[in-house]
Structure 1
Amino acid sequence: MTPIVLDGGDRRCVLLLLELRRLTTTVPSGALIRLIASDPAAPLDLPAWCHLTGHAYLGPVPGEHPTYAVQVADVTALTDPQSPWRPAPTGP
């Protein structure tokens, strides 16, 4: 399967997580995503977000730019659409 590339450029990890969350809801489970992210927080935030959601963090990918691999899980924990680093609100 060819990886889907999400080029985060120099955007902060907060914005990248918003984009990554949106992308993971539109691709099939098992899809590989390569996230290009120059934010120094990415190596910490991405594994934490994957742990929270259930997606598989596959680690850094060698290349010209800092790139990280994520595999989309078939069953995931929902996160808040506006704050994807937090679990989705529960209740009414």
Structure 2
Amino acid sequence: MSGAAPLPGADAVVDGTGLVCVVLLIRLRDRIAGLPAGTVVHVTTTDPAAPLDLPAWCHLTGHTYLGAAETGAGLVHAVRVSAAPRPTRPDRPWHLGR
């Protein structure tokens, strides 16, 4: 991802190394619950589907996907927490609902 703008600094971090995206999304959703709007979360991933799944999940839930950058630990994605996120099902973070 060379040439991309640097990611904003992280207020919180989610380590998704070695996780498949569904587990990663559940971990991310649980970590950001209750964080104030505007909080920037860095999500480290190794799942090859994450560059597609994270932006789509952010669009679904109302959070803002800020981009990604390569690091030695994997790909780091930045997400800005929404003031009014749309909730997802507890066991299915890609389905809206409570």
> TM over 0.5, yes or no?
yes
**Where does structure 2 lack aligned partners over 5 or more consecutive residues?**
1-8
Q: Which amino acid aligns with 2:24?
A: L
Query: Hey, what's the Cα distance between the residues in 1 that align with 2:36 and 2:76?
Result: 21
Q: Give the distance between the partners of 1:30 and 1:62, measured in 2 at CA.
A: 23
Which 4+ residue blocks in structure 1 deviate beyond 2 angstroms? none
The one of 65, 72, 76 equivalent to 2:81 is 72
* Percent of aligned pairs with the same amino acid: 43
Normalising by structure 1, report the TM-score. Answer: 0.89
1:53 aligns to what?
A: 61
CA distance in 1, matches of 2:77, 2:65: 8
- Contact map agreement 2:15 2:45 (CA 8 A) in 1: yes
CA RMSD of aligned residues (A): 1.4
Aligned residues: 89
Q: CA deviation at 1:63?
A: 2.3
Distance 1:70 1:10 in 2: 19
Larger strand proportion of the pair: 2
Structure 1: segments with no counterpart, 5+ residues: none
Cα distance in 1 for residues equivalent to 2:97 and 2:45: 25
Give how far 1:73 is off. 0.5
- Cα distance in 2 between the residues matched to 1:32 and 1:70: 6
- Paired residue for 2:48, among 40, 45, 59? 40
